[in-house]
Amino acid sequence: APIGNEEKPCCDDNDRISVLHESILHCIMSFMPAQDVVRTSMLFRRSPPLWTSAPCLDIDIDHFDMDRVKFNKFAKSLFEGRGNANTLDKLRLHSFAIDAAKYWIGDAIRLHKVKSIDFTENTRWEAFYLDPEAISFSSKYLQTVKLTNVIIVTSVFDQLSRECESLENLQLADSTLCSPEISSSSLKTLEIINCLVLNHLLIRTGKLVSLCFKDTRCGCTPKYIVRTTSAVILCDLSNAKSIELPTPVRHVAFDRMTPGCPMFISLTSLILGEWCLSNKFAPLACFLKHSPMLENLDLKLKFDCEAQKQPLQMAEGILFQAKSLKKVTIHCAEEEDRLPVLKAILLANARCVKHIDVKTY
């Protein structure tokens, strides 16, 4: 209602939306698919239309019933209509065999200074090649990057690591990684899920707080393929508070293990897989010896139907004292015959742990 002698806005009495500030309308639109944003913008008498300056775009081929022609035409018009001046807070792009997607991503980074990119190539199609000739990830504005079903080569990793000074969150899923190193001076969270790693991978991220490297597919299904066949090398993770490494990697190596200077000085939560029991328990012992603040430990052992289980035998002279460890949980099959030995080893070296929880698959 008008206050005092204020005149009513020049609009229909039943129209309470048109009088809202542009920032509020943009906020409402940020929860809507892109085609709904365009339709809704037509309701307001604004020039230029509100959709041309919307800070969040959600362009999903599923919203077009998988019609690639309509999807391509709409997305092309959307980016052309925005011009070069309007910035983007977030771009979510779910595509399906649309080659032009690489140019849309490139424009979002180069022209619209996008802060967050969430790109998915439909998993029913082959992985999308992030062509470094068409897409430059060099940006001082990028903060979050999520990529699904893509092929990432070394030059793209180099840009993400060295030319994105604000990048804090990186998630890679169902993708092929062709790079020997992920290094960044700004990255805080790193997730690598169900990815094929072609090279030994060095993770060098000094500010990293959370690392997740896993394969979520069930090992007992016929379609299961161990895709991570290379070694993962951990370096400079002194700020990491949470590490999740249940993935079936060939092995995990540790770089710069300086005596008297724990590598995982901030680590409080740790999830490991079957690989940590290899070499007579050495990887797990190494983690525990260099994690003085560790409070929670989860071990996820293989299913009975999986071959090549690690035998449990403690190497002579390998001891650890997990002084802060409070909770240990072991995930295993119901008939896990190694469980008594594993529990005995952990209870003997982690003196503050009085009970170990066991959860069966």
**Would you list the DSSP string of 43-96?**
TS--SS-GGGG-SEEEEEGGGGTT-HHHHHHHHHHHHHHHTTT---SEEEEEES
Report the range out of 183-187, 319-323, 353-357 with the highest average pLDDT: 183-187
Query: Which residues are 273's β-sheet partners?
Result: 300
Tokens, residue 213? 């490297």
- pLDDT recorded at residue 305: 47
Average confidence (pLDDT) over 97-116: 94
Phi/psi at 263 (5° precision): -70, -35
Closest to 253 measured CA to CA, from 265, 237, 271, 267:
237
Of 338 and 117, which is predicted with more confidence?
Answer: 117
User: Structure pTM?
Assistant: 0.85
Q: What is the rounded CA–CA span in Å between residue 256 and residue 287?
A: 13
Report the range out of 10-24, 110-124, 221-235 with the highest average pLDDT: 110-124
Average confidence (pLDDT) over 116-129: 95
**What is the average pLDDT value for the chain, to the nearest integer?**
83
Phi/psi at 119 (5° precision): -115, 130
Strand 90-95 to strand 201-204: parallel, antiparallel, or no bridges (unpaired)?
Answer: unpaired
Q: What is the rounded CA–CA span in Å between residue 61 and residue 72?
A: 9
**Nearest-5° angle of CA 145, CA 147, CA 149?**
175
* Confidence band for 345, pLDDT divided at 50, 70 and 90: confident
**What percentage of residues in the chain have a pLDDT greater than 70?**
81
Average confidence (pLDDT) over 170-177: 95
